[in-house]
Chain A
Amino acid sequence: MTLQYLVGEVSWRLAELAAAADDGPARELSALRRRAETAPLPLLGPVLLDALRVAERVAAESLRRGDVSSFVRQSAASTELYGFALCADLVDERLVVAPGGTVEEVCR
């Protein structure tokens, strides 16, 4: 299958997330982007999951600080990433990313 475009789409979205994040998380997201671009295709799902964790954490921190504009921007990028991941069948809809960025529960 010509699945390579999924790698590109993930890379693109991680770049957008990184651009919306502060320096520390941005570096984490850049490292995840690097993994997405170099790892075999089956690893895209775990990379996305890690990215969603970081995104959740970043948005929660913005909210805690009362930085509404950052929160809105980060949430939008995160929502887009999550939506893409679902449509590309790279993560499962049952996954719940809890506030603070932990992914512990599976809804059933």
Chain B
Amino acid sequence: MTTERSDNVSEAQIAVHWREEEYYQPPAAFVGQANASDPAILDRFAEDRFPECFKEYADLLDWDHYWHTTLDTSEAPFWKWFVGGRLNACHNCVDRHLATRPNQAAMIWVPEPEDADPVAITYRELWVRVNEFAALLRDFAGVKAGDRVTFHLPMVPELPVAMLACARLGAIHSEVFGGFSGTACGERIADSGSDVLITMDGYYRNGELIDHKIKADEACEAAAKHGHEVGTVLIWRRHPGRYASDRPMVDGRDHFVDDLLPDYRGQRVAPESMPAEAPLFLMYTSGTTGRPKGCQHSTGGYLAYVTGTSKYYQDIHPDDTYWCAADIGWITGHSYIVYGPLSLGTTTVLYEGVPTYPDPGRLWRIAERLGVTTFHTAPTTIRMLRKLGPDEPTKYHYRFKHMTTVGEPIEPEVWRWYHQVVGKGEAVVVDTWWQTETGGFMGTTLPALQPMKPGSCGPGALGIYPVIYDEVGEVVEAGSGKAGNICIRNPWPGIFQTIWGQPERFKQIYYERYNRDPASTDWHDWPYLAGDGAVEAADGYFRILGRIDDVINVAGHRLGTKELESAALTVDEIAEAAAVPVMDELRGRAVEMYVSLKPGMTASPAVQDGVTAAIEREIGKIARPTQVWIVPDMPKTRSGKIMRRVIAGISNFADVGDITTLANPEIVADIRHQVQREKVAHGQVPRELTPAEAEEIRAFGKAE
């Protein structure tokens, strides 16, 4: 282990002090069979070939009509890819494989109960199922192109069947993770305006058949509270013919799919030829304002991007058995369980249950039994498997050639366990950085061409040109050791099109920060703000550090300054708020709040107590500030940004740094006098900061 990560260091310091790791080269056997083993591919996706380079991805698809414009930037940043093209995603994932591999398993579903056999569904069987369900959706539920259909389905084959059936009709699907509450599902139903909910009566988790129908009732109720009535609820039964719930069916609304399907046996539905920019699905993420964000992904651009990245980064071949052990309820599952793998005609594995049920060897038994060649999971799962069964992989005779990590940064020592124990030292490891919004991988390594480096996701993916900006929009150079905000300078086909129903929020969150000209139609003026902090090594590999919001680490709890400040702002009297860390001998760091009042309001202990109470209520007692300072104004830049490092310096009796560029430098002395005088009077002068602590305070707020 080469990192010495303490909980008391800032992200910026991690960036500086986390030592570079050595490279790992891919095995020759892997390179020899890889889809991308010729370095010329890097030239084909060089920036001077943008955007036409993405033709290579689009040409992996079948098009009903070829496009005339690769990238239309006329309504920046609402990018349109492959304009003029028409295609159907279901055709590309199912129909086109019938000629060459009708009897190959498209998917293998593994139920959680271990005494139940895996179920293989061939491409032909999938085609039949999708057609029949599409017919049911169209003729029974009245679904047509452009309609939104919400799913609240667990990890069962009926989920990809439903996705592909919607895609076949040109309807927009919106899967809500099966583990979410009915209320969360209902809010997403209302936001998307779905009239149809597709769910299941139950599913297995940790050995129990869980009642899931109850959530459908809650979802319909929650949607109704938001003014939206669900007309039709289609309920698959986990065991057809046997209802797993004791919830009553609602007359006229609820219908068992297995009762309806016999009427649609043998029916075929022609794939709807959709414009490339037609939405394919919505994927909701939780947002900071309470209203969920429905990330809208396109048909042509998205499908091209996940197909291309599945081919070159997941190195998927049709004869592979590919297992992404994620949930289809997340973007990883959409892109790299369903659309990418099926578009390439491989066999994709779905597992219903908990990775550690009934024991931590379960995943490896599945891999052995099914002959999985390619494995894909998240660092949290890897850590759990390592913790609960560090030697379990050695007991099973599977052989992976390729493994992926997704979702969060992976520590080098966990990476090494994944590589050496899970991969038996034979498999390449592809670390990936991306987001729900990006559709597919943004930072990663081409497994046969770019060596692995534990803890780093790699350089930008093909055709992706990342950059790190500091708080004023200056480029943070590679190899500088400094962290900043990772952005993507260019659009790419997999980028989400907008937030469903909230285009202004889309622009504001992802583009406003570094936009150079709001009227510009030149993509160079619209860097995409990912919202993650990162550092770029001299070799161009990125190490992702986490969200860019500043955090204060109180007794191991990473409290976001934005959340603390948002809580303070719920108090009527408060106009502005800033949270800063102070050194605390017991908890490492504690929170101090600085607030200024709205005009006409008077400072009082009641206001201070109100701020404390609001933070406890909104976040929890762990976040209780040790002080709430009511100040006449905040130190600010000329653009109005609160300089947190200045007030953090005051609270810690440390250097406040350069204040000459402030719009109101005189306020610094006033605040210092007010705060430090009171601390001195109450014996709260902190000890002298260590150099590392002083650096942390100086760096505080730089993520802003």
CB contacts (< 8 Å) of A37 on chain B: these are 180-181, 183-184, 286
| CB <8 Å contact, B555 and A38 | no
If the complex has contacts A8-B177, A8-B179, A94-B556, are A88 and B329 also in contact, measured as CB distance less than 8 A? no
Majority secondary structure of chain A interface residues (helix, strand, loop or mixed): helix
Query: Is A68 in contact with chain B by the CB < 8 A criterion?
Result: no
In this complex, the member of A39, A87, A95 whose beta carbon has the largest number of chain B beta carbons within 10 angstroms is A87
Contacts of B198 in A (CB 8 A): none
CB-nearest residue of chain B to A39: B286
A87 to B377, CA, bound (A): 14
Separation of A9 and B408 alpha carbons in the complex (Å): 14
Chain B 286-308, CB within 8 Å of chain A: the 1/0 string?
Answer: 11101010000000000000000
Whether A1 pairs with B384 at a CB distance below 8 angstroms is no
Q: Does the CB pair A2–B380 fall under 8 Å?
A: no
Pair B384/A103 contact, Cβ less than 8 Å: no
Residues of chain A in range 1-23 having any CB-CB distance to chain B below 8 Å: 1-9, 11-12, 15-16
Chain B residues lying within 8 Å of A88, measured Cβ to Cβ, are 380, 383
Do A41 and B556 touch (CB < 8 A)?
Answer: no
Alpha-carbon separation in the docked complex, A38 to B191 (Å): 14
Is the pair B286, A7 in contact by a Cβ cutoff of 8 Å? yes
Q: Are A1 and B380 in contact (CB under 8 A)?
A: no
With a cutoff of 8 Å between Cβ atoms, the chain B residues found around residue A2 in the complex are 330-332, 406-407, 434-436
Contact with A along B543-555 (1 / 0, CB 8 A): 0101101010001
CB distance from A48 to the nearest CB of B (A): 9
Q: Are B184 and A11 in contact (CB under 8 A)?
A: yes
Q: Is there an interface contact between A8 and B180, defined as CB atoms closer than 8 Å?
A: yes
The answer to whether A42 and B559 touch (CB under 8 A), given A5-B327, A50-B620, is: yes
Distance A91 CA – B558 CA, assembled complex (angstroms): 8
Check A83 against B563 for contact (C-beta < 8 Å).
no
Q: Is the CB of A91 within 8 A of B179?
A: no
CB neighbors of B among A64-91 (8 A): 83-84, 86-89, 91
- Contact of A38 (CB < 8 Å), options: B290, B326, B562, B587: B290
Chain A positions within 8 Å of B557 at CB level = 45-46, 49, 91-92
A84 and B380 CA atoms in complex are apart in Å by 8
Bound state CA distance, A89 and B329, in angstroms? 22
Cα separation A40 to B181 with both chains bound (whole Å)? 17
Choose among B409, B544, B546, B563 the residue that contacts A40 (Cβ–Cβ < 8 A).
B563
Tell me whether A87 and B556 are in contact (CB under 8 A). no
Distance (whole angstroms) from the CB of A43 to the closest CB of chain B: 6
Complex CA gap A7/B287 in Å reads: 12
Are A42 and B549 neighbours in the complex by a CB distance under 8 Å?
Answer: yes
* Chain A residue nearest to B556 in the complex (CB): A92
The complex places the Cα of A39 from the Cα of B287 at a distance, in Å, of: 7
Query: In the complex, what's the smallest C-beta–C-beta distance from A32 to chain B, in angstroms?
Result: 10
A34 on interface, CB distance cutoff 8 Å = yes
**B560 and A40 form a contact (CB under 8 A):** yes
B614 CB to closest chain A CB (Å) equals 14
Q: For B558, list chain A residues within 8 Å (CB).
A: 42, 45
Q: Which of A43, A49, A87 contacts B563 (CB 8 A)?
A: A43
Q: Does any Cβ of A come within 8 Å of B622's Cβ?
A: yes
Asked if A94 meets B332 with Cβ closer than 8 Å, knowing A2-B406, A4-B285, the reply is no
Q: Which residue of chain B is the closest to A12 with respect to CB atoms?
A: B179
Residues of chain A within 8 A of B562, CB atoms compared = 40, 42
Does B387 have its Cβ within 8 Å of any Cβ on chain A? yes
Query: Is B378 positioned at the interface, with any CB of A under 8 Å from its CB?
Result: yes
Whole-angstrom CA separation of A66 from B60 in the bound complex? 64
Assembled-state Cα–Cα distance A42/B567 (Å)? 13
Interface residues of A in 28-56 (CB under 8 A from B): 30, 33-34, 37-43, 45-47, 49-50
1/0 per residue, CB under 8 A from A, across B373-385: the answer is 0000010110110
Contact yes or no, B547 A42, CB < 8 A: yes
Instruction: Give CA–CA (A39, B618) in the complex, Å.
Output: 9
Min Cβ gap B38→A in Å is: 30
A104 to B303 CA separation, bound complex (whole angstroms): 50
Is A42 touching B563 in the complex (CB atoms < 8 A)? Answer: yes
| Contact (A46, B436) CB under 8 Å given A87-B383, A92-B555 | no
- List the 8 closest pairs (A to B, CB-CB), nearest first: A92-B556, A42-B560, A12-B179, A46-B620, A87-B383, A8-B177, A88-B380, A87-B384
Task: Knowing that A11-B179, A84-B384 touch, tell me 7 more A-B residue pairs with CB under 8 angstroms.
Answer: A8-B177, A11-B180, A12-B179, A38-B292, A39-B286, A43-B563, A83-B388
Which positions in B face A, CB cutoff 8 Å? 7, 177, 179-181, 183-184, 205-206, 285-288, 290, 292, 326-327, 329-332, 378, 380-381, 383-384, 387-388, 406-409, 433-436, 532, 544, 546-547, 549, 551, 555-560, 562-563, 586-588, 619-620, 622-623
